[in-house]
Structure formats: C-alpha cells, structure tokens
Structure 1
Amino acid sequence: MSSVEERELAEVRMIEEGLRSVYDGDAEGVIEAFNGLRGFAINLVNLNITAEYELDAKALIIAMGDIGRETAERGMKTASIASALALGEVVVEAADRERESLALKALSVLGNLSLEFGRKNLDAAAKSAAESLGNVGKASSRKKMEIMTGLSEVYLMRLAMKAMEENLSETWDTALNYLGEIGVSSAEQGIEKDAVGAAILLEELGSAAVRKQNEPRVKSVIKTLGKLGRELFQMGSKNALVQTVWALETLRILAKEQEMENAVSAGKRELELLSTAGILDEEQNLEKIQEIKEFHRQILKRG
C-alpha cells in the first residue's frame, strides 16, 4: 500500500470514528477525531497542491462540517465548539498559504455551520464560530484577500442576525466586535472595499435591531460604528469613514422615528466625537460609496 493510500485510509477511519463518537454521545471521542482531521486537512493544505490533493482536502473539509452538524443536532456543546475551532484553523492556514480555493471551501463550511449552531440555540458554540470567522477575516485582510475578507464579514453579519433572533448574547457581542475589527484591519491594509463593507453590514444590523424594537442592540451597533469610525479617522481612511458616518446618521434617524431616546443620544454622541461635519455632503465621496456598495452586494449574493 502506498503512503497516499495509507493516508486516505487513515482519513476515512478518522471520519468514521468521529461519526461513531457522535452517535454514541462521546464528546471526548469527537474532539479527538476533530484534532486528527484538522491535522490531516492542514497537511494537505501545505502540500504542493494537485487536482487530486485539492479534491481530497475539500472532501475532508466537507466531512468535518457534516460531523459538526451532527454534534449540533444532538446539542453536544463541547464537541460543537471543537468543530468550529478545527475548521477555523484550517481556513486560517489555507489563507496564510494563499490556497484560496481551499480557504473559500472551508470558510463556506464554517459559515454555514455557525448558522446551524445559532438555529440550535448553542450560544457557546456559535460564539466560538464567530471567533473563528473573525480570525479568518483578519487573517484574510492581512493577506489582502478581498473576497475571503468580505465573505467573513457577511457570515458574521448573518450569524449576528441569528443571534439577535435567538437572543444569543455572547454570540451577538462577539460577531459585532469582530465585524468592527475586520473593518479596521482592512483599512490598515488599504482594502477599502472591505473596510466600507464592514460599516455597511453594521448599518444593516442596526436597522434590523430598530425594526425589532431592540434598543440595546441598536445602541451596541452604534457604539461599534463609533469605535470603527474613530480608528478610520486616525488612519485617514476617508471613504470608509464616510460610510461609517452615513451609517451612524441613518441609525440615529431610524431610532428617533421609533422614539428610542437612548439610542438617539448614543448616535449623536458618536457623531460628535468623530468631528466630521460636512463629510456627508461631499458628492464625490457619496458616488464612491455607491460603487463600493454595489461591489458588496455582489459579495453578499455569493455568500
């Protein structure tokens, strides 16, 4: 038996062991299986990729997602957390090695799994997935991988939406904070589209919170936007700052219409701290933002 055949057989056995442990309710066995599968996947990422190796790696990543969904179905908290951590490490490794095809596949599996955790009301697992998505977004921005960074933002926004629906407070806070951090990281790397994208998605989250009459969530989005805006102001990232100010003003007005006085006050305070009077009136800036919004809409569709 060749070394490749031995590796493939070991992978199959580990997948079977992971599923068997899930069905037996053996969380430690599932965690051990994920550690092994993560190692196999990272090894494949670091090989000189051939078509065969890439297919093998993608099949392995899909299997990890399948096992993760089974843990969610059975409410296995620690095993679900392990699945999010393992997939997150695979995505980051693939991004660091600039294996974009594998990174995108693993990110897709992780993003969809995070939403499954949200649907099953597994706050700790969903929070862990949010952390993994956030780390992926920041790692991708450092590599200037625009699509990867944008998709990470989209998955975090969707997870935050689910967290708001299911009242998963830890997941909400984590997803929100990482969205802002990815925006800052993108601006630092000069990836304007993803810096603007973070502000756009935060505005969408805030608008959804207004529609749900959830003032505490509106305030938390406003504070995140304010923090992002101050970082962007320091870096001179003008277009992203324009979008952030635009988002803050939009949320302030929406909150005012719904008589959310605390959110209105928070919005006004953050706008004053940014000291950006007149920035929304610059026609050239607004035209640029529309272009970037259209780009981000395309990213959202692919996500």
Structure 2
Amino acid sequence: MSSEEQRGLDEIRGIEEGLKAAYTRNTKEAVEAFDRLREFAIRLIYLNVTAEHELDAKALIVSIGDMGKITAKQSMEIASVAASRALGDIAAEAASQRRDALAIKAVSVLGSLSRELAARGMDTAAKSAAEGLGKFGAVSARMGVENQVTLSEIYLMQLVREAMEEDLSETGIIAVAFLGEVGAVSVENKLEESAIGVSILLEELGIAAVRENHEPEAKVVINAFEKLGKASSMHGMKSLLFQAAWSVETIRVLAEDKGMNAVSRIAKLTLESVKAAGALDEEQTLEKIQEIKKFHRKIMEKS
C-alpha cells in the first residue's frame, strides 16, 4: 500500500471514528477525532497543490463541520470547542500559506458552526469559534487578502447578532472585540476597505445593541471604535476616521434617545478622540462607504 493510500484510509477512519463518537456522545473520543482530523488537514495544506489533495482537505473540513454540528445538537460543549479550534487553526494555517480556496472553505464552515453554537446557547464553544474567526481575519489582513478579511468580518458580525438574540453576552462581547482587532490589523496593513468595513459593521452592531438594550455589547462596540480611531489616526486613514466619527455619533444619539446614559456618555468621549482633524473629502468617503455596504450585502446573501 502506498503512502497516499494509507493517508486516505487514515482520513476515512478518522472521520468514521469522529462521527461515531459524536453520535454516541463520547466526548473524549470526539475531541481526539477533531484533533486528528485537524492534523490531517494541516498536513495537506503543506503538500503539493493537486486536485486530489485539495478535495481531500475540503472533505476533512466539511466533516469537521458536520461533526461539530452533531456535537452541538448533542450539547457536547467540550467537543464543540475542539471542533471550533480545529476549524480555526485550519483556516488560519491555510490563509498563512495562501491556500485561499481551503482558507475560505474552512472559515465558511466555522462561520456556520459559530452561529449554530450560539443558537444553542453554547457560550464557551461559541467564544472559541469567535476566536478562530478573529485569528483568521488577522492573519488574512497581514497577508493582504482583503476578501478573506471581509469574510471574517461578516461571520463575526453574524455571530454577535446571534449571541445578542440568545443573550450570550460573553460571546457577543468577545466577538465584537475580535472584530475590532481585525479592523486594527487591517489599518496597520493599509487595507482601507476592510477597515472601513469593520467600522460599518460595528455601527450596525452598536445600533442593534442600543435598540435591544444590550448595554455591555454597545460599550464594547464604542471601545472598538476608539481603538480604530487611534489606529487610523496613526496611519493617516482619514476615510476611516470619518466613518468612525459618523458611526459613534449615530450610536450616541440613539443611546441618548433610549435613555442609555452611560453608553451615551462613553460615545461622546469616544467621539472627541476619533474625530478627523483637517479637511476631508466627505463626498468621496460617502461613496466608498456605500460601495462597501453593497459588497457586504452580497456576501451576506450568499452566506
């Protein structure tokens, strides 16, 4: 038997054992299976790029996602954490090696799993998924792959919305923080559209948090804007400063109307620190913001 044939058999056996462990609620064996499948997938990332290797890696990624959804349905939180970590590691590793098709597949599966975990109230596992999405976004930003950064942003935003619906405050707060971090790394790497995209999504989340009385999430959103403002000022990204100031003011006014005085005060202080200094071509910036919003809508329609 060739090494390739042995590899294929090992992968099939790993998937079968993982599915069995998930269905029989065997947490220990499920975690071990996720770890093995993660190792198999990462090994394929470093092998020569062939159609067979690509298909095998994608099959492993999909299998991990399927198993993760089973462990979620079975309320196996520890195993679901392992699934999230496996997918996050694979996505980040693929991104770092510019295996873009595998990176996109892994983060898409992770994004879907993250919402499933939040919908089932699995706070710990959902937080692990948020970490994986954030790590992927940061790696993609450092690699300069803007479409992958945007995917991570969208999935983090969707996770926050799901977390707020399920009152998973910790997941929502952590996911917002990672979204802000992706924005900051995008600024550092001169990815202006990705950075503005984060600001747009943070605005949407801030508005939703205020309207739905999620004060902790609203405060974290404003804190993320403050960090974005400092980063954009440092790197001369005036368009982002304009968008951030606009967003914080929108959230401040809404919070004031809702009687969320603490949020309104924090927003007012943050607004002062992110306002753009000097002349700014507002018309050009507004056009760019509208283009990014349209791009976001297209992605969300497909996800």
Q: 1:104 aligns to what?
A: 104
Note the alpha carbon deviations across 1:21-53, whole angstroms, 9 max, x for none: 222322111111111101110111111111121
Q: 1:182 aligns to what?
A: 182
Deviation, 1:20, is: 1.5
Q: 2:286 aligns to what?
A: 286
Structure 1 vs Structure 2 CA RMSD: 1.7
- Give, in whole Å, the separation in 2 of the partners of 1:294 and 1:23: 41
Give the alignment of 1:1-303 within 5 angstroms.
Answer: 1-276=1-276, 282-303=282-303
Is 2:197–2:293's contact at 8 Å kept on the other side of the alignment?
A: yes
Deviation, 1:287, is: 2.7
Provide the TM-score with structure 1 as the length reference. 0.95
Is 2:169–2:216's contact at 8 Å kept on the other side of the alignment?
A: no
Deviation, 1:279, is: 6.7
Note the alpha carbon deviations across 1:184-240, whole angstroms, 9 max, x for none: 111111111110011011011111112213333322222221222122112211112
Note the alpha carbon deviations across 1:123-177, whole angstroms, 9 max, x for none: 0000000001000000011111111110001000011111111111221121011
Note the alpha carbon deviations across 1:86-134, whole angstroms, 9 max, x for none: 1111111111110111111111111101111101100000000000100
- Give unmatched runs, 5+ long, in structure 1: none
Moved more, 68-77 or 165-174: 165-174
Note the alpha carbon deviations across 1:5-26, whole angstroms, 9 max, x for none: 2111111111111112222322
Equivalent pairs counted in the alignment come to 303
Deviation, 1:294, is: 2.8
Note the alpha carbon deviations across 1:32-83, whole angstroms, 9 max, x for none: 1111101110111111111121111111110111111111111111111111
The structure-2 alpha-carbon separation of the partners of 1:187 and 1:95, relative to structure 1 and needing over 3 Å to count, comes to same
- Give, in whole Å, the separation in 2 of the partners of 1:213 and 1:28: 39
* 3-state SS of 2:187 partner: helix
- Give, in whole Å, the separation in 2 of the partners of 1:75 and 1:156: 22
- Give, in whole Å, the separation in 2 of the partners of 1:116 and 1:288: 33
Moved more, 19-28 or 104-113: 19-28
Deviation, 1:280, is: 7.5
- Give unmatched runs, 5+ long, in structure 2: none
